[in-house]
Amino acid sequence: MMRSVRQMALNWCIHHTCMCHKIISVLELIGCFVLRSQKLLSKAINDHYWLSVLVLIVSMPVFSKFGGLRFEQVLFLMVLPFTLGKSSGFPIRMTAAGGALLLLLFFLTHIYSLFYLGFGLVLLLGLSFTKSKPGYIAYALVFITTPAFRYFFQVYSFSIRLQLTQLAGKVLVIFYPDVEVAGNGIILDKVVFSVAPECLGLNMFSAALVIALFSLAFWSRKYGLKPGIKLISASLMITFFLVLIANTNRILLTVLFKAMPDTFLHELIGLLVFILNIAFPLLLAGYWFRRFYQKDKPSKQVKGIPRLLLYLQMLMLGLSVFTSRNQLHTNASALELNMPGMSCSIGPDQVRKLSNDQVLIYIKPPAFFLGSDHHPFICWKGSGYQVLNENTCVIDGQELMTFELYKEGEKPLYSCWWYSNGQQNTCRQIEWRLAQLKGEKAYSVVNVSAANQEECLQMVRKVIATKHQ
């Protein structure tokens, strides 16, 4: 049987010589790939890289539970190999203690950012047992790709977007005298161009920081050197200003070319501005900074307790999958607001809803002062609405946030929101968090919406004037 099969194969090869050569070449490539993979796997096992791989594997179920890895976090894992060198950034015992403390705090508070920071330090701890050790850049990457960092920037980016819009409006007035600026929107020929949070530059701020650190890591690795903490800090500050410049240019180009959101031209402008104003300058800056790099001296191997801590922390990472999302709340419920002529209902998340034919009011319960708040944008966007024309206004001495809601097939809504504890009102994140930390009465989110601006503002005045508990 085997002899007949060999004879058939030989006859086929004689009549199809070219095809036979191609098959042999492919088999040789596969053989080389397998041998190369075996060598790399053997090297990884001998150099203890498998520890870091195992850290990533046991953490994946937790990442999936909390929505998966974001774009900048995937970039972190891709850039991480370029940040490894001969010396560690921080002492290995400090990394081990920090990872254990953060994971313990995660079990107590259920705050996802603590888990991510703990995962990052455990990952770097595993790499510390290899020949290529994580430097300061690796630690900086862990910090800037933390969900809390992204949330902090998104929360406080509104004032930045207002300033950028004002700046772009002053430039555009030179060419178009009829240009108007309203909040975070620019009006040209009766067309409104809004600077939304989803705009590529601001939304990709974390990615820009990752690229800045990658540039430093790439050039330092090329020359066998390492950047210090001061140089890394300077590079991140430069990145921040580059992002501001890039977004100003993006606003100008979007208005000049009338590139509306969700169009190819709008996305193309954002991508080109990001590459030309952020990525390319950062790569050049990393090359120019090489004169400030330091010598990369080998660190001593540490044995004993840190490795035992690594195994314990890997176990903690695996057990984290059984931890639910942040359930820490204040004991206070949402503010009780009695408005005559409005029906009241309480949702499953203790959100109070008051409504009539003209106005809709949502009062959301206080959030944990270290957690994310119940931002109205999240709920409205989750319901399919588009948030436009964000602005601030002062009503009866109280500063409020205003915006407009649009949804296909429905009438637009005008909306206002602020934080209130019944006695004090604010729209500033830091103010209500500090007040709650000092033991003051917790703040709820109050969101008033109506079909037109007059009805909305009229109800806002009534709500502010009403004493509620």
pLDDT in tens, 27-61: 666 655 555 544 544 444 444 677 788 888 899 99
Model's pTM, two decimal places?
0.70
Q: Which of 255, 289, 322 is the last residue of a domain?
A: 322
- Tell me, yes or no, whether 338 lies in a domain: no
- Average pLDDT value over all residues in the chain: 79
Buried b (16+ CB within 10 A) or exposed e, 403-425: bbbeeeeeeebbbbbbbbbbeeb
Instruction: Check whether residue 105 and residue 75 sit in a common domain.
Output: yes
- Tell me, yes or no, whether 450 lies in a domain: yes
Count of structural domains, the chain:
3
Average pLDDT over residues 222-229: 83
Domain that includes residue 32, residue range:
2-46
pLDDT tens-digit readout, 60-97: 998 888 888 888 888 888 888 888 887 777 788 888 88
Chain-centroid distance, C-alpha 104: 23
Higher pLDDT, 424 or 335: 424
- 131 has a pLDDT exceeding 70: yes
Instruction: Check whether residue 257 and residue 360 sit in a common domain.
Output: no
- Tell me, yes or no, whether 331 lies in a domain: no
- Tell me, yes or no, whether 420 lies in a domain: yes
pLDDT tens-digit readout, 346-404: 876 778 888 888 899 888 887 765 556 677 877 787 777 888 888 888 888 888 888 88
Q: Which of 322, 355, 388 is the last residue of a domain?
A: 322
Instruction: Check whether residue 177 and residue 130 sit in a common domain.
Output: yes
Instruction: Check whether residue 236 and residue 358 sit in a common domain.
Output: no
What is the per-residue pLDDT for 139?
A: 92
- Tell me, yes or no, whether 174 lies in a domain: yes
Instruction: Check whether residue 211 and residue 360 sit in a common domain.
Output: no
- Tell me, yes or no, whether 57 lies in a domain: no
- 10 has a pLDDT exceeding 80: no
Instruction: Check whether residue 223 and residue 118 sit in a common domain.
Output: yes
Instruction: Check whether residue 96 and residue 219 sit in a common domain.
Output: yes
pLDDT band of residue 150 (cuts 50, 70, 90) is confident
SS3 per-residue string spanning 166-228: HHHHHHHHHHCCCCEEECCEEEECCEEEECCCCCHHHHCHHHHHHHHHHHHHHHHHHCCEECC
Instruction: Check whether residue 407 and residue 275 sit in a common domain.
Output: no
For the chain, state the CA radius of gyration.
28
Instruction: Check whether residue 349 and residue 431 sit in a common domain.
Output: yes
Instruction: Check whether residue 118 and residue 77 sit in a common domain.
Output: yes
In eight-state DSSP terms, residue 83 is G
Instruction: Check whether residue 149 and residue 291 sit in a common domain.
Output: yes
Distance CA 32, CA 110 (A): 47
Distance CA 89, CA 85 (A): 9
- 159 has a pLDDT exceeding 80: no
Instruction: Check whether residue 75 and residue 111 sit in a common domain.
Output: yes
- Tell me, yes or no, whether 334 lies in a domain: no
- Tell me, yes or no, whether 226 lies in a domain: yes
